[in-house]
Amino acid sequence: MVHNPSTSHTNPGINMKASKKAAPKRATTVGRTKTVARKKGLNGGSGARGGKTAKAVALASSSLTTRQNEEAIRIIKALKGWGSIELKVVVPLQTHRATIESIGLDPVEAQPRQAYFFDTPDFALNKAGVVVRARRIQGGGADTVVKLRPVDPAAISPELRRSASFKVELDAMPGGLVCSGSLKGTCTGEDVLAATSGAAPLSSLFSKEQLAFFGKHAPKGVTMESLVVLGPTYLLKAKHNPKSFGRRIVVEMWLYPDGSRILEISTKCLPEEAFQTAVEFKAYLANCGINLAMTDATKTKSAMEYFRQRMTSGPPAG
């Protein structure tokens, strides 16, 4: 795998994640996917909406340079074969409450979660583009991830591509396109509590595949047992099916220990639907009165910046 730090600019405020999970319900089989693509003109054919698709591509890329367009197209092509892309937007802080109300989401349906990050005291993993995280989920479940960010999706090894636990994420933000490779695992909430309290070794949370992935990409001399616990960070996650948008959306609010927060809204589509869906998604949000935030902040980046400052200044007095 090539750990490629290069990025290029794209549509402000929109992030894309691609995984090998099942695509959205409206295109769950190969035959159905081709049918949807033909109807939308996404394969460049003579579908009834071919003109609309061309317009969507133009709208989605109108603010990009030729080089940026070429890079976006290259990455989308590299993601073909993956099940879906996740489009994400960051909502400005001052409109969080209005956003929840405008999309018709019932806040009490949100699922509470608790996230822990792990790094060395000098944040060697963060500097190397490696993210290690565990997350407790309501009901007693939990998941883990070892993430490499950035990475070139075209250079991912065949072994990882075949792994059901591996996915590629594409964040397209004002700062540029950033691809990530994530290897996921599962455990229990009790396992996470034991490891974060020191009652069990941190490595016990991760699978052999994850540990091998970590060992390959972590800086020399950095082991799982040399990492410290950063967190927890609390978050709320809710799924919603708006009547005015033909896809399910997911809303996540991350609540950081210093009182700051990030609100993200996301939806999924097939790689060949990316430009069309991006335009439709932005139009839906605009109709809800939601403006996209001109920021390259992500949930992980915001968390790591908070903990870095906390480690540098020390815990607050009192």
Length of the chain: 318
pLDDT tens readout for residues 29-83: 333 333 333 333 333 333 333 344 344 444 444 445 566 567 667 777 777 766 6
Phi, psi of 132 (to 5 degrees): -125, 125
| Bridge partners of residue 117, in order along the sequence | 133, 230
The reported pLDDT for the residue numbered 254 is 94
Q: How far is CA 237 from the centre of its chain?
A: 13
Residue 53: exposed, middle, or buried by beta-carbon count in 10 A (0-12, 13-18, 19+)? Answer: buried
| Confidence check: pLDDT of 116 > 80 | yes
**130-134, 258-262, 267-271, 293-297: least confidently modelled range:** 293-297
The reported pLDDT for the residue numbered 7 is 41
**Could you tell me which of 250, 224, 256, 261 has the C-alpha nearest to residue 111?**
250
Tokens of 100: 């929840």
pLDDT tens readout for residues 171-192: 655 545 567 788 999 999 999 9
**99-108, 162-171, 256-265: least confidently modelled range:** 162-171
What is the overall mean pLDDT for the chain? 77
Which is more confident, 314 or 21? Answer: 314
- Per the CB < 8 A criterion, the answer to whether 10 and 172 are in contact is yes
| Confidence check: pLDDT of 167 > 50 | yes
Percentage of the chain beyond pLDDT 70 is 70
| Confidence check: pLDDT of 92 > 80 | yes
Q: How far is CA 188 from the centre of its chain?
A: 22
| Confidence check: pLDDT of 209 > 60 | yes
The reported pLDDT for the residue numbered 199 is 98
**For the chain, what is the HEC assignment?**
CCCCCCCCCCCCCEEEEEECCCCCHHHCCHHHHHHHHHHHCCCCCCCCCHHHHHHHHHHHHCCCCHHHHHHHHHHHHHCECECEEEEEEEECHHHHHHHHHHCCCCHHHCEEEEEEEEECCCCHHHHHCEEEEEEEECCCEEEEEEEECCCCHHHCCHHHHHCCCEEEEEEEECCEEEEEEEEEEEEEHHHHHHHHHCCCCHHHHCCHHHHHHHHHHCCCCCCHHHCEEEEEEEEEEEEECCCCCCCCEEEEEEECCCCCEEEEEEEEECHHHHHHHHHHHHHHHHHCCCCCCCCCCCHHHHHHHHHHHHHHHCCCCC
Instruction: Please identify which residue in the block is written with the tokens 């879906």.
Output: 84
The reported pLDDT for the residue numbered 57 is 40
Tokens of 292: 């996209």
- Per the CB < 8 A criterion, the answer to whether 80 and 11 are in contact is no
Phi, psi of 198 (to 5 degrees): 90, 0
71 vs 7: CA distance, rounded Å: 9
For residue 145, what are the CA distances in angstroms to 94, 152, 206? Answer: 31, 18, 8
| pLDDT category of residue 15 using cuts at 50, 70 and 90 | low
Q: Quick one: fold of 14-313?
A: Hypothetical Protein Pfu-838710-001 (2.40.320)
| Domain segments of the chain as ranges | 14-313
